[in-house]
Structure 1
């Protein structure tokens, strides 16, 4: 923790020392602003440390506005255009942090995610930022000269405030709804927060059948089938599916989960681009359970093949039945009971309404000098480094206006 500054009034107070908060504090400090960074936790960047399996998937080379969900799909465009993945990669390289490309544009540290936290802390320190940890924020009030931030250890006066307190995901890491409370206190709207990038649960008796292969995975395409008509159809994701003791998970399901609403179904293609049972339709082909099972096992594991055929075996060996089984394999639907909640969600969907924020400055339209960045805003990225890129980009954009 940076040593205390005797001054009582600041140019900028940043609430939250996560990815967005650290980045914004450093960038504001580089602009010559006096900056105080506050967080209730005992250390900075706790969520960064557990990301990417402890290696921090710090950005995605293919990040575009299309990789984000929001009530206003255009809101993120300005910030994302002004601070790109290449900009953050340049920062990582300047600090000589070894990294690698995994798949689908995802960049990870070769070593521990601690390297990213150390880098951001160094950026803050070099920019003259004061960091106060174990300083829980209670409320923020506005006055004629700016704002007063009330914490458990006293009040702080500042010209501007940046709220980077994150969402509700992973409460054991210290997640709270203080950012939403601050927004509501200033009359800003909140899009209902809900778990995103989260494992889905299956209802009984469906779960009873599939829980038996918990731990089995397969490469699939996954998408949500909406119960009600939507203006834009949910996207299709091609990644891994993982069966769990409560339902389904894996990257494909986590991606699809962000688009789920009550009553929706999950649709899976267990053999994308393959004609699995086509050989059964050939003249003289054997049509029986062993042959069918062998064909499916060429594309998925034996345990998954056996379970799937138990639930989807054809009623007879006629062409129509075999064609229907093929169609079902590529458009297999599962009912969704719910999800595993914020405790297992990687991010929070929803948050401070973008209708009340300026997309260029991230400041509240009705409260100049009060900005919201990162996960607390109703901008949610796909899996694979996109949420970190939104943190960096929104933080940078906000800092340029402070």
Structure 2
């Protein structure tokens, strides 16, 4: 069986559905294909099931890319306010958790349904459980062989995402297709992902599994002050997920357990004002007591001992304690990898893609949008905003 369409889009995730509906509303015949059994699976699990669907404070600075200027054009043309208007038109209740971060009040299903409703209203022809066997181009069209037969289209849009969370259907197909057409695919790795620990530290922190506190974590000149979560596998929470995108294997991380104070100054004042008190008591008021017990043990391993009384502390001792607690360095064993990563860093080199149309330079009928490109957002709704913006930029220029 042979089919024809103005546009074929491969990948029925956030970017693919958004691009399909936008193009279809403009009168294009759109065929949207996906090998999975359900559309927008990653949308459903995002944001802890509540979908952090955009960030009102989105700027190009919130994205990692070897070509940082590439995302500017699309982000300017389709802003968080544009998507928020769409959310409001669909009557979806939302809440701003952290500044700028918008989540569904009820469930991620609301955003999934919005995308599917827009696709239905606009007339998108959606086919799930469809595999692609080959893609070839002619001077002005694309020929596709698939499990549903041969397809001829004026343009092909690839919205297949990255390698994150393979259980939801992620594959490297988009990268393979890019290579077929001579594009460079930059090395990929897991981003926004929890860290694993070496056995000794993992054992020391094991009793604290489930404990969370606000910290600052730093690596390669980047610092994030957000909650840290100790898990039975290692370290997670927003602060660690954020820094994971800047960390490379073998790097050290630095954690400031008391990010909102000048600890040395505080310790000096304690010595003066409460000479008979114990420093551990004050630390237990600033941090969870279970955490303080473990940190004191870790300090002893470094040869740093807390004084019996504040009055007994030397200047050198206070300096060592302050430095250790506000610059606690360690080397993670690694990360949990693509299995739990929210995003994939790296991907198709955007130097070979038009920032205006998302088309391959010199091959207008092939386009790439969303996470398959070397554009990765920080945690907080930025990756969805890139999906919406790149999708609309592409659709408006088909």
Instruction: Quote the offset at 1:279 in angstroms.
Output: 5.0
The correspondence of residues 215-230 of structure 1 with structure 2, limited to 5 A, is: 215-224=210-219, 226=220
| Greater Cα shift, 184-193 or 136-145 | 136-145
Normalized per residue, the structure richer in helix is 2
SS of 2:337's partner is coil
Q: Which runs of 5+ in 2 are unaligned?
A: 308-312
SS of 1:370's partner is strand
Once residues 275 and 41 of structure 2 are traced to their aligned partners in structure 1, the CA distance between those partners, rounded to angstroms, is 56
Matched length: 388
Check the 8 A contact 1:276/1:296 in 2, yes or no. Answer: no
Instruction: Quote the offset at 1:111 in angstroms.
Output: 1.3
**1:226-273 deviations in whole A, cap 9, x for unaligned?**
4xxxxxx3x211110011222211000000000111221111111112
TM-score, length-normalised on structure 1?
Answer: 0.93
Q: Which residue of 2 aligns with 1:230?
A: none
Once residues 59 and 279 of structure 1 are traced to their aligned partners in structure 2, the CA distance between those partners, rounded to angstroms, is 39
SS of 2:199's partner is coil
- Pairing partner for 1:328 from 304, 324, 344: 324
Q: Which residue of 2 aligns with 1:133?
A: 128
SS of 1:342's partner is helix
Q: Which runs of 5+ in 1 are unaligned?
A: 1-5, 227-232
SS of 1:149's partner is strand
Q: Which residue of 1 aligns with 2:310?
A: none
Once residues 366 and 298 of structure 1 are traced to their aligned partners in structure 2, the CA distance between those partners, rounded to angstroms, is 63
The correspondence of residues 105-254 of structure 1 with structure 2, limited to 5 A, is: 105-224=100-219, 226=220, 233=221, 235-254=222-241
Q: Which residue of 2 aligns with 1:57?
A: 52
SS of 2:210's partner is coil
Check the 8 A contact 2:19/2:395 in 1, yes or no. Answer: yes
Once residues 323 and 295 of structure 1 are traced to their aligned partners in structure 2, the CA distance between those partners, rounded to angstroms, is 16
Instruction: Quote the offset at 1:150 in angstroms.
Output: 2.1
Once residues 103 and 284 of structure 1 are traced to their aligned partners in structure 2, the CA distance between those partners, rounded to angstroms, is 38
Check the 8 A contact 2:2/2:150 in 1, yes or no. Answer: no
SS of 1:298's partner is helix
Q: Which residue of 2 aligns with 1:11?
A: 6
- Pairing partner for 1:269 from 244, 256, 261: 256
Q: Which residue of 2 aligns with 1:374?
A: 370
TM-score, length-normalised on structure 2?
Answer: 0.94
Instruction: Quote the offset at 1:284 in angstroms.
Output: 5.1
RMSD: 1.7
